Structure 1
Amino acid sequence: MASGKPNKLAFLSMPAPASYVAGLGRGASGFTTRSDIGPAREGPSAETIAEAQARRGEEPDVDPEQFQDPDNEYGLFAGTTYEADDEEADKIYELVDKNMDARRRARRCVPLVSFLVCNRSTVLHLSLLRVCVSREAREDEELAKHRAERPKIQQQFADLKRGLSSVTDEEWENIPEVGNLTRKKRKRDERSFVVPDSVIIGDRTQGEYENALDAQQQTNGGFETPAENGMLTNLVEMGQARDKILSLKLDQVSGTSTSSGLATSVDPKGYLTSLDSVVLKTDAEIGDIKRARMLFDSLVKSNPKHAPGWIAAARLEEHAGRMVAARKLIKAGCDQCPKSDDVWLEAARLHNNDDAKVILANAVPHVGQSVRIWLAAADLEHDVKAKRRVLRKSLEHIPNSVRLWKETVNLEASAADARTLLSRAVEVIPLSVELWLALARLETPDKAKAVLNKARKAIPTSHEIWIAAGRLLEQQAYATEKPDEQRNKELEVVDKTIEAGVGQLKKHQVLLTREQWLKEAERCESEGSPRTCEAIIKATIAMEVEEEDRLETWLSDAETAEAKGNVGTARAILAYALRVFPDRRTLWRRAADLERTHGTRDSLSSILERAVYHCPQAEVLWLMWAKEKWIAGDVPAAREVLEKAFVANPESEQIWLAAVKLEAENGELGVARELLVRARTVADTQRIWMKSAVFERQQGQISTALETLSTALKKYPKFAKLYMIQGQIHQSQKNYPAARAAFAAGIKACPKDVTLWILASRLEEADGKSIKARALLDKARLANPASDALWAEAVGVEERSGGAAQAKTVLARGTNSYRSNHDFPIWLMDDCLGSGTTTGLQDCPTSGLLWSMAVWAEPRPGRKSRSTDALKKSNNDPLVICTVARLFWAERKIEKARQWFERAVTGNADLGDIWAWWLKFERQHGTPVSVIRVA
């Protein structure tokens, strides 16, 4: 104070203003402690807080809902009338707003105000007010000037809008239309027609899209594509938007660039192709490329003579899309590694066609002996003459390249030029088998022989030349029409040639294995030289085979060749084996089966004729030959075959019965009866007597059949079928006592024959004596304890007698299913069966027949689970598998049923029931081809 200057810190000793609250300016509020209880003072009032906020420049919180438009009020005062009190209140609010606006103008000079508060100077306060007023006036003046220069459209037409209040209705109606004032030629009014409803509906649905699939789309594999927000995607609009964006991009690229002033024309197709070629790389890929670039850079710098490093570095840059860098790298690689043809080829690949030609031309001085370089140079040429010129130039540098000679010969248009080139080639490269064989193929037959002889002398270790010679001789033998004798002589030369070739190869220590020779034979057959194939088999099939293993080995080789489809090879192997083992019936049958499957009737007849000549005692071969003649429709020839068979086998039961069948099938019943009489005299077997009785029964000669059976039973009392036929004849005549006596005699003579017991039981059942039928079956099970057929017949008796529950009980005893599935007490079952009766589990626990019946005895829902148990306990019995197939058939699962039928037949192809069910299935659900295959 002594110096006359005001003290800035004097306000600290001044008393606090009225209603001052410490810390309120920085947001603190008063609080009360325990010591303040009693004379504790109250907190600041709302007015005090508002005044403090005003001093700090903060605006009080205003509720936006408290100043509602009176015309649009809602809530408590909604719908009230605007009265004089309301108008007075609005005026008061306007005055308050003006005062607040004045206060806001003053706040625009906040820095000066804060400075004034700090200094508490009246002069500064007046200066502040003066500055604020002048600034506000200047702003108002500038705003008025701006509004005068650029008035709003609303202000420009304000007077006109006010003048519209004086326009009358008549003047308003006479205002002309805007369209009438244009100078464009108006279109004449055209006639209008009623639009059909179909057009309207079609136009309405044109922009719509389906949000559901119809039945046809669902069956054809349609699908829905719901979006995440539940909306359906309009794929049509998406496609249109995509096309529009692509069109805009093409227009932008193909338009004129305003920045550079250059016009760029782009082919849309080429642009699309370039878009496809653009590869977008992720950050990870870019990082990998950078690291790989560093590695390759270090590699080529540390070892610049390493060609693969340059190639890898160039391919990395190519992958990264930097073709210029890749070409620079590969050029450096060519400079560093000029002796590597890989580098030159990579450089040619990275450049265009013309540049690649130059690169390969530069490579020739360095790697002129590289065949790949010359072939790549020839591939770059599109003209045949240019290619031929390049290849001939390459032969000057590399005359001993077989590949270059072959490529050059392939480009020759005429056979004469090719022949000339090959003649020169074999002179330059005499050890090339391919060139010799190619030259032989182009020469005439006579010259080809000379060529092959030269080749054989030049390359005595080549088996291909000997095989080619054999094929050439075979082609000459079939080239023209010749007598069979002459052709056979020429074909014998083929055998001699191959045999001589094998001998010469052995002399020169060239030992091919049997497998290699067999492959060569198969190749000759596939290329149309069956006689050469046969000659190779004759000369080599006995190699490396022990004498005792020859038959099995050759049969195995024939089966393998037939499985591959090489029928000629298999036929040649069997022919050679038959020459070595002419008396083996199995070989002749195998050869006959091969001819029946892949040959003709003449070839089959020839094989069988040779077979019966070498094996006259083989009844099967005679019967096969006679049957083939009969099937071919030549019945007299079949009779002749059987007559010859009688001479070779006078006591053969099968031949006599085959002759009887042949005569009976062709209507010669008298001859058949005479043959049976002679057969009973000559052969005199039980089967012939049985067939005689059956023949007389079929012809209606019942008395003769019974007499024949009586005579036969005296000779063969242990033959059960004679008792069966006798009992069935009496049963068909309703002579139940005689039939019962016949079956009883048969059971006494043959107690182990299950069929006799079953026929006797059915006889009693037919006579209405079901109890006696059950008793017979019980006795039969005692005599044959492990027979599932007897258990099945017992179940059938119960079913036919009307006792379904009893039938299920018997079936459960047969399969022991009550013990496993129905919790039937074991002690009670033992009491019911008796101590001497065995249970089904002991008799036939794995019977497929009984388990199949058990499956069908179950209700429909339980059959599937029961079939699973049946498969497990019967060890996949074919009858159970057939039952499963029938279950799939019932459920209309056609393919699965067919597969299970095939499995059942594979398990046991001799069960006729399976074939019958499968045939019925194919007739119902299969094709004619599948029916024929099963039948």
Structure 2
Amino acid sequence: MAAVQSLVDKKKKTFIGLAAPLGYVPGLGRGATGFTTRSDIGPARDADDIPEERHAPPSKKKKDDEEEEEDLNDANYDEFEGYGGSICARDPYDKDDEEADEIYFSIDSRMDEKRKERREKRMKEELEKYRQERPKIQQQFSDLKRELSGVTLDEWTNLPEIGDARNKRMRNPRAERFTPMPDSVLSKNVHMGDTTTAVDLREQRFGGLTSPFPGSNTPASMLASMGSDIDMKKIGEARNALMDIKLTQVSDSVSGQTVVDPKGYLTDLQSMIPTRGADISDVKKARLLLKSVRETNPKHPPAWIASATLEEVTGKLQAARNLIMSGCEQCPKSENLWMEAIRLMPGDQARVVVAQAVRHLPQSVSIWMKAASLESNSNDKKIIFRKALENIPNSVALWKAAVELEDEEDARILLSRAVECCPSNVELWLALSRLETYENAKAVLNRARNQIPTDRQIWITAAKLEEANGNFSMVPKIIEKALTSLRASGVEINREQWLKDAEDAEKSHSVHTCRAIINNIIGIGMEDEEKKEAWMTDADSCAVHGAIECARAIYTHSLSVFPNKKNIWLAAAAFEKDYGSRESYELLLQKAVTHCPKVEVLWLMGAKSKWLAGDVSAARSILSLAFQANPNAEVIWLAAVKLESENNEFERARRLLQRARSNASTARVFLKSVKLEWCLGDIAKARILLQESVDLYPSFAKLWMMKGQIEEQEGNIEDVREIYKQGIQKCPESIPLWLLLSRVEEKAGLLIKARAVLEKARLKNPKNADLWLEAVKLENRAGLKSIALNLMAKALQECPDSGKLWAEAIFMEPRPQRKTKSADALKKCQHNAYVLLAAAKLIWSERKLDKAREWFKRTVKLDGDLGDAWAHFYKFELIHGSEVQQEEVKRQCLSAEPKHGELWCKVSKDIKNWRLKTEDILPLVAQLVPIPS
């Protein structure tokens, strides 16, 4: 062992486990050059400073020290912060650091905001220039895509296939080639599907045992014994299928009768005539099958009808007639068979066939009606119907047809006999009562009630009879008795049916019957809680249907049940104003104020009606009664002031306003007082009243506006600015005050101040479309279109559903893009009057006059209070319409009485026009309307 150990020690290298010498590079002697990293270089130092233990094996303590040192790897190196991140990053992040970061961030944001407008403008210009040079495919084809909406369905379906231009076969398609079918294949398929009932002799001779049916393994001897049964079964199935098809095409069974449309029937037969060999083969098979059916069961009428129809379809009309007559001989009691025979025969022969049919079927109503239709002379028809009624006296159809041919006296006689034969038919009784005298008609209706106690029409007819003869007091009694009798007979009273009967009675000018029905059935089957709403709905429904008296009766009954309901009185008054006379309207209002004296609007409606009729004294008396019932009502005081001022009684109006300021002091009373003095030219008194009013009601914005407008009229611009500023401090939510202040600054030439005012207003009142619109118009008036477009984009982002903004945005676009913008506006605000008006103006500018007129009608129908829409419509008719159309627009405008609109308010609110009415304001506003271009 010692020898072995000494041998190992000799072989062991002395440098194993020792540190490498200083500056050693492995493989240097074999040509390796070595490499140097940043960690080898490190900070600036000399090679002599390297410690001797640099390459020594690391001890545990040294290893821990290295973990605490910096990571000098390249991945941890930053160009600005060096190794291991920033020195500050090693310290904790406290509040001072957070505050410093916020300061730096705000400074950066502020600096970026200064350059933002210039940067965005430059980017927008570059983008527009780029889009002009390279427009999107969507922009290039946008007009063509809009025109696709007019492409019809046939044009879409007839579009050719695009194909693939890269495919040579698709670019140059070859003509299709058809190879003729060999004769052997045709001859092989001629008898395919035929039925064979006998075994071939050759097969019998040579002992063949296979069945002639393809695919069958039945021996020939078994087939011979059962072949007949199989044939009959298949023939029966084919017969039934064919007859079902033919009968479905030919006839329509209604309660045992066959009703045939000759014109349509012949048209269908014309289209069924076979033209190909396969059709002829099918006809032959069908003929054989039907022949088999007729021979098997000759008493089956549908087989004869189907056979005759088949011959008629194939054009063999005589064969069809012969077949159908043979069928009539075999089945003389078949009504359908005789009707088909009559149809197939010509005129004279048809009469002969009818005579035969009547002899065999004297109880058939259809045959008698057919016989009468073949005659052209009314006397012959009468003879036929009377003969028919001798055989069938209980046929209502025959009685009706016979009565229609007679004059009034003969018809009355026939109906007297008809009600005896058909006592359960209401129509015959009612027809007879209409032809009789008053006394006889009463007797007829009484007999009808005894015969048919469950029919309501008899009672209603009786009520109409009494009304027609002036017995109005009997009408409600008859209707009440009718309801009692019908309930006793177990009849359910259907409220909807009786309402329909009331409308029918009004259409027949039986007004008292209509009212009696309404009064007796309007509350049937309803709870007390739902009566009010249901009755208002019924009244509206009747008015829509044109049943004015029914609606008036419903309102009258409702007011008798609910005499103190304000809403019912208002609805009834509105109904009378639209559909009644002025006398009935004023009479209803008199009743209304008796039951509801505290409802101020009812007094005002009555006074206005008297005033419009020219009866000023009556209007004053109504208002005096209204003062007694409502001594402190502001609206009544103001109505009295308006009445006096409109009739040039200015001193009386001043005294009324003075009393109103003492008894019913409100902001509106002071407002009307100031306006009256302003209109009469007493500016000094108006200023005194204004100062008093703003001291009492500082939050009423209209007082500040009026005060500023008076000073502006006097030319005191500085005072105007201060007044508006004070008003804004008191009423920061008043948008008109902000707009007035901005316009004052704009008139003074201070565009920057005007912008600042509007920006501050938007901060106080966010998402307000009027402020954004004024800002856009301000820039447009200044000629800064790019800024206006930018503001409009922001406005539409903040107020995407504003019709005013969309309407303004349409005409800010270039002409080719306005139609697209209007389409977007209509998608966003489909039911906005401003957008519809802008669309109408756009169509007007394109000179599509009829279409523009329709859009103007839609606009004023949607919002009749928008005066600008009426002015544009009137200006349009003045240029392109007739005098009738102009007067119609003016009449509708007077009926709507518009109050709003930028141009409309500009004229109507002008103090010079304070006495002008709607018919005077409309032409003035129309003069301000520009013609769209």
Scaled by the length of structure 2, the TM-score of the pair is 0.63
Structure 2 counterparts to residues 501-900 of structure 1, below 5 A? 501-815=482-796, 841=797, 843-872=798-827, 877-900=832-855
Which residue is equivalent to 2:434?
441
Deviation at 1:790, TM superposition (A): 1.8
Report the AA paired with residue 392 of structure 2. I
The DSSP-based 3-state class of the residue aligned with 2:312 is helix
The DSSP-based 3-state class of the residue aligned with 2:423 is coil
1:461 counterpart = 2:454: yes
Tell me the distance in 2 between the aligned counterparts of 1:648 and 1:296.
95
Of residues 352, 355, 358, the one that matches 1:361 is: 355
Tell me the distance in 1 between the aligned counterparts of 2:294 and 2:814.
82
Which residue is equivalent to 1:913?
868
Of residues 403, 423, 427, the one that matches 1:430 is: 423
Which residue is equivalent to 1:342?
336
Deviation at 1:874, TM superposition (A): 5.7
Structure 2 counterparts to residues 23-62 of structure 1, below 5 A? none
Q: Contact between 1:919 and 1:934, CA under 8 Å: does it hold in 2? A: no
1:387 counterpart = 2:381: yes
Of residues 471, 486, 492, the one that matches 2:464 is: 471
Report the AA paired with residue 865 of structure 1. T
Tell me the distance in 2 between the aligned counterparts of 1:933 and 1:562.
23
Tell me the distance in 2 between the aligned counterparts of 1:297 and 1:663.
102
Change (3 A) 1:858 1:296: same
Q: Contact between 2:408 and 2:435, CA under 8 Å: does it hold in 1? A: no
Tell me the distance in 2 between the aligned counterparts of 1:633 and 1:300.
92
Report the AA paired with residue 402 of structure 1. V
1:371 counterpart = 2:365: yes
Deviation at 1:754, TM superposition (A): 1.2
Tell me the distance in 1 between the aligned counterparts of 2:864 and 2:392.
67
Tell me the distance in 1 between the aligned counterparts of 2:639 and 2:279.
84
Q: Contact between 2:483 and 2:493, CA under 8 Å: does it hold in 1? A: no
Change (3 A) 1:758 1:580: same
The DSSP-based 3-state class of the residue aligned with 2:469 is helix
Tell me the distance in 1 between the aligned counterparts of 2:562 and 2:554.
12
Q: Percent identity?
A: 49
Structure 2 counterparts to residues 406-425 of structure 1, below 5 A? 406-415=400-409, 417-425=410-418
Q: Contact between 1:743 and 1:756, CA under 8 Å: does it hold in 2? A: yes
Which residue is equivalent to 1:830?
none
Tell me the distance in 2 between the aligned counterparts of 1:605 and 1:531.
23
Change (3 A) 1:581 1:310: farther
Change (3 A) 1:667 1:394: same
Deviation at 1:725, TM superposition (A): 0.1
Deviation at 1:286, TM superposition (A): 5.5
Report the AA paired with residue 684 of structure 1. S
Q: Contact between 1:923 and 1:931, CA under 8 Å: does it hold in 2? A: no
Deviation at 1:287, TM superposition (A): 6.0
Which residue is equivalent to 2:300?
306
Tell me the distance in 2 between the aligned counterparts of 1:695 and 1:785.
36
Tell me the distance in 2 between the aligned counterparts of 1:794 and 1:420.
87
1:329 counterpart = 2:323: yes
Change (3 A) 1:696 1:336: farther
Which residue is equivalent to 2:399?
405
Change (3 A) 1:321 1:851: same
The DSSP-based 3-state class of the residue aligned with 2:837 is helix
Deviation at 1:518, TM superposition (A): 1.7
Deviation at 1:720, TM superposition (A): 0.6
Scaled by the length of structure 1, the TM-score of the pair is 0.62
Tell me the distance in 1 between the aligned counterparts of 2:488 and 2:649.
67
Structure 1 segments unaligned to the other structure (5+ residues): 1-276, 478-489, 816-840
Deviation at 1:684, TM superposition (A): 1.6
Change (3 A) 1:711 1:278: closer
Change (3 A) 1:288 1:723: farther
Change (3 A) 1:700 1:311: farther
The DSSP-based 3-state class of the residue aligned with 2:315 is coil
Tell me the distance in 2 between the aligned counterparts of 1:374 and 1:501.
39
The DSSP-based 3-state class of the residue aligned with 2:749 is coil
Name the structure, 1 or 2, with higher relative contact order (CA <8 Å, separation 6+).
2
Q: Contact between 1:757 and 1:777, CA under 8 Å: does it hold in 2? A: yes
Structure 2 segments unaligned to the other structure (5+ residues): 1-268, 894-933
Q: Which has the larger radius of gyration?
A: 1
Which residue is equivalent to 1:451?
444
Kindly provide the CA deviation profile for residues 433-483 of structure 1, in whole angstroms up to 9, marking residues without a partner as x: 222212211211012112211221222112111011001001001xxxxxx
Kindly provide the CA deviation profile for residues 510-560 of structure 1, in whole angstroms up to 9, marking residues without a partner as x: 114112112222222222222212211222121222321112222222222
Kindly provide the CA deviation profile for residues 605-637 of structure 1, in whole angstroms up to 9, marking residues without a partner as x: 233222222222222222222222233333333
Tell me the distance in 1 between the aligned counterparts of 2:869 and 2:361.
75
Q: Contact between 1:885 and 1:897, CA under 8 Å: does it hold in 2? A: yes
Tell me the distance in 2 between the aligned counterparts of 1:869 and 1:382.
67
Change (3 A) 1:388 1:809: closer
Report the AA paired with residue 664 of structure 1. S
Change (3 A) 1:351 1:854: closer
CA RMSD of aligned residues (A): 2.7
- When structure 1 is superposed on structure 2, of 396-405 and 721-730 the one drifting more is 396-405
Tell me the distance in 1 between the aligned counterparts of 2:513 and 2:413.
29
Change (3 A) 1:281 1:754: same
Report the AA paired with residue 765 of structure 1. E
Tell me the distance in 1 between the aligned counterparts of 2:668 and 2:519.
46
Tell me the distance in 2 between the aligned counterparts of 1:317 and 1:635.
90
Deviation at 1:359, TM superposition (A): 2.0
Report the AA paired with residue 734 of structure 2. D
Which residue is equivalent to 1:5?
none
Deviation at 1:777, TM superposition (A): 2.0
Q: Contact between 1:794 and 1:810, CA under 8 Å: does it hold in 2? A: yes
Report the AA paired with residue 799 of structure 2. C
Kindly provide the CA deviation profile for residues 274-332 of structure 1, in whole angstroms up to 9, marking residues without a partner as x: xxx99986337666655554554454444433334433433343343322112112212
Report the AA paired with residue 400 of structure 2. K
The DSSP-based 3-state class of the residue aligned with 1:785 is coil
Tell me the distance in 2 between the aligned counterparts of 1:492 and 1:650.
44
Change (3 A) 1:811 1:399: closer
The DSSP-based 3-state class of the residue aligned with 2:473 is helix
Deviation at 1:908, TM superposition (A): 4.7
Report the AA paired with residue 834 of structure 2. L
Kindly provide the CA deviation profile for residues 349-384 of structure 1, in whole angstroms up to 9, marking residues without a partner as x: 222333323222222233211122222223333333
Report the AA paired with residue 427 of structure 2. E
